[in-house]
Every structure is written in structure tokens, then in C-alpha cells.
Chains A and B, each alone.
Chain A
């Protein structure tokens, strides 16, 4: 046997191990930047662009998000705050557009999504932490100030206040995605507090998104590789407190004035985040049965619902737009 033949098998073994190890080598990491904006944590993740370009593109995305925040947050000094204080007034094109979207979704969801829940949000004040829930009389009084049909885009009738928390974040995510595309980035995730816009891929594989399990912080309900578009989740575990064994959370039912009780979480996929944002809130309020019917009636929209009893249901096309990834 020649010396070469004698070494052929061991060398082949070494080559195989090298090939295996190379396949498992540490991946190149995407560019990631995180900031506090819109009262939440926002992360922009980009793939493929060299660092200076990626940083410049991310800055544009953050600027787009900040612009929406500065106009539509319900905090002193913003145009929305001024609009609520004055009970009407002239608004910018952007604010008019979000108000128009909000009213359209209020109409389509029969008021399950309602941008005038501000009096209820202020009454319940979930962010304050554990405290006794408001009295039925107080809830009734706040409910009397709620009603999306009091708003006209050319006029403001009746006493109410607008909160765009259920839709402006989605609109801002869409603007950030637009800014990234304009900057020439095609592969990215915009993540605003767990509400996502996903575009392109992460190199040679799709982006992988974990959908949070609503009752176990350490688990994902599912890991999916979503199609290009928005994946927005509303859950009763994001902002809540417990009082005398009951959970009080921030998604309020505009019909009862109390936290909606039909679901633990709702995840909606839609081509735009503004639609996914409004729909995830509306479906949460409506509950699994009516909520899934609403989703199925919307073209190009899919969703996954975890009911109050923990059962998981989804629209027939959810697995197509967000196929599960094997782990």
C-alpha cells in the first residue's frame, strides 16, 4: 500500500469533521440598534449592509419613529395632546391619516377597536401598579365619554379624548420600514415592543420570530418564519397588575369599560403594521369566536388566538404566512 493510500481514510475523516465544524461556525451577526421610543423598546435589525451604511439606515428608521412619537403620543406638548385639550383643531397630514385609519377600523370592527378609549385608560391607569379597580359608577362615567362616532375628520363633536396607542405604533413601524427601504436596505426587522415588521431574509435563511407564550415567559408559543409584512401581538401579559387574585390589564373593552377577558393573546399578520396593530386589539376585545370571524373576513390578513382558557386557534392561512420553524 502506498503511503498516500494509507492516509486516505484518516484524511477523509479530518475533512469531514472540518466540513461539519465549518457548518457550525459562529454566524455573522446582523447589525442591531436599540433605543427607547414611543414608550417602548425599539430594535432595528439589519442584515447585509456594512456597518456605516447600516447605522445611517437605522438612524433614518429611528427618526421616522421619533417623528410619529412626537406628534401622536398622548403626552403634554404633542399635537395630539393639544387636539384633546382643545376638543378639535387643525391637524397635520400624518395625524389626519392615522385618525382616518383609526376611524375606519372602528367602523369595520363595530367599535371593538376604538380610538376614544382614553377616558377609560386614564381611569384604570394600569401603569400605576396594584390598586383597587375603579367602581362601576366610575366606569360608567368614563364610558359615557367614549365613542368613536363623535369624531369627524372635519369636525369634533361631543366630549371625548383620543388615544392612538392601539394604532400609531403600527403606523410608525410602517414609516420606519419605508425609511429603511428608501435607504436601500431590503433585509430587516423593525421591532417596537414586540410588534414587528419583517422584510427579506437573514442571509441564507429566513428571519425567525418567536411568538411569546402568554403564560410562560421562558417559552415561545411558536417559532415562525413570517412572510414579508407585519406581525403584531396584543397580550394581557404586557402591562398588567393583579388585585385580589384577578388580573387587570391594559386592553380595555370599549363596550364594557373593563379589561377584555376573552383572550390571553392575539397575533395578527398583515401586509402593513397599522392594520395588524388595530386588528390585534379588536380581535382581543371581541374574543376568539367573533375575533377569528373578523380576521377571516379581511382579505390578506391572518391570525393566531390564544383564548382565555389557553386553547390556541388560528385562521386557515396563518401557517402559510407564518410557517412554523423546526427547532
Chain B
């Protein structure tokens, strides 16, 4: 009887090795923020994705930030122009929303950002 080159067990071992390698090395969900940096007059701090509602004090009052699983945004700020609120959701690393009058900035962190800086 001719001996089989590959047995089902061989295939299982190879599939297992492939899976282990992918899990070990692949950058899980590339391009999605893994956390957010909030900068204010008192300094910077990092918060994890899905932190929820955060209130940050500034010279004009309170800036409200919503940090979800996939994105974060400034939802309210006591500034006249509301440009920070208009910036919308930050869903890629490197994106920034800032309330300059109230001195609060929100920056999406994580690997796989498509740019190192934004010219604006």
C-alpha cells in the first residue's frame, strides 16, 4: 500500500503553526485607535478606547469628550466657534481635535496611522 505524504494530523499541525504566527505578529485591527491622549493646561494623560464620557476643565469651562470603542469626539465645549465639535469623530491614529480657546486637545493614538502629521 502506498504511504500518504500528508495525514490530516500534519495539516492540523501546519494550520496551528500558521494561526500562532498570525496571532503573535499581526498588529490587531490596524488603523484603529488603541487609546487617546487628552492634553489640557494641566498636562497630558492617556485614556483607553471605550472609556466613555470624560469632562476636562479649561479656562472657559468644561469640555466634554466621548470615547467609544472605535472613535472619540469632542461633543461639547464652551468656545464660541465650536470648531472642535465640528471636527467630528477621530477614528484613525494621528487624528486630532482641539479646542484652542479652552486649551483642550484630543488625539487618537495607535499603530497603523496613515500620516505622521497633518498640514492645515
Contacts and interface: CB of A to CB of B under 8 A. Distances in A.
Contacts of A30: 116
Question: Is the interface on chain B under 10, 10 to 19, 20 to 34, or 35 or more residues?
Answer: 35 or more
A14 B14 contact: yes
A301 to B, nearest CB: 15
Interface residues of A, number: 59
Contacts of A235: 120
Interface string A1-23: 10000110010011001100110
Contact of A239 (B5, B44, B83): B83
Contacts of B88: 217-218
Nearest to A25: B25
Interface stretch (B49-57, B62-70, B100-108): B100-108
Interface in B83-120: 83, 86-88, 96, 98, 100-101, 103, 105, 107, 111-112, 114-120
A189 B81 CA distance: 28
Given A34-B107, A36-B41, A127-B80, A196 B117 contact: yes
Contact of B26 (A21, A195, A212, A223): A21
Given A39-B100, A209-B117, A211-B119, A13 B18 contact: yes
A27 B111 contact: yes
Given A17-B21, A24-B30, A34-B44, A209 B101 contact: no
Given A40-B100, A41-B39, A220 B115 contact: yes
B21 A14 contact: yes
A126 B98 CA distance: 17
Contacts of B6: 6, 10
A223 B30 CA distance: 18
A24 B27 contact: yes
B48 interface: no
A29 B107 CA distance: 15
Main secondary structure of the interface of A (DSSP, over half): mixed
B116 A14 contact: no
B39 A17 contact: no
Given A21-B22, A211-B119, A240 B27 contact: no
Interface in B12-66: 13-14, 17-18, 21-22, 24-27, 30, 37, 39, 41, 44
A212 B118 contact: yes
Contact of B39 (A1, A36, A207, A327): A36
B100 A327 contact: no
A14 B18 contact: yes
A34 B48 CA distance: 18
A220 B112 CA distance: 16
A6 B5 contact: yes
B41 A43 contact: no
A22 to B, nearest CB: 6
A45 B94 CA distance: 12
B100 A41 contact: yes
A34 B5 CA distance: 60
A191 B81 contact: no
Interface of A: 1, 6-7, 10, 13-14, 17-18, 21-22, 24-27, 29-30, 33-36, 39-41, 43, 45, 126-130, 189, 191, 193-196, 198, 202, 207-212, 217-218, 220, 223, 231-233, 235, 237-241, 267, 327
7 closest A-B pairs by beta carbon, nearest first, are: A129-B80, A194-B120, A21-B25, A212-B120, A210-B115, A10-B14, A26-B111
Given A13-B14, A45-B116, A231-B119, 9 more contacts: A6-B10, A36-B103, A128-B80, A194-B120, A195-B119, A220-B115, A223-B115, A233-B120, A267-B119
5 contacts: A6-B6, A14-B21, A21-B26, A41-B98, A220-B118
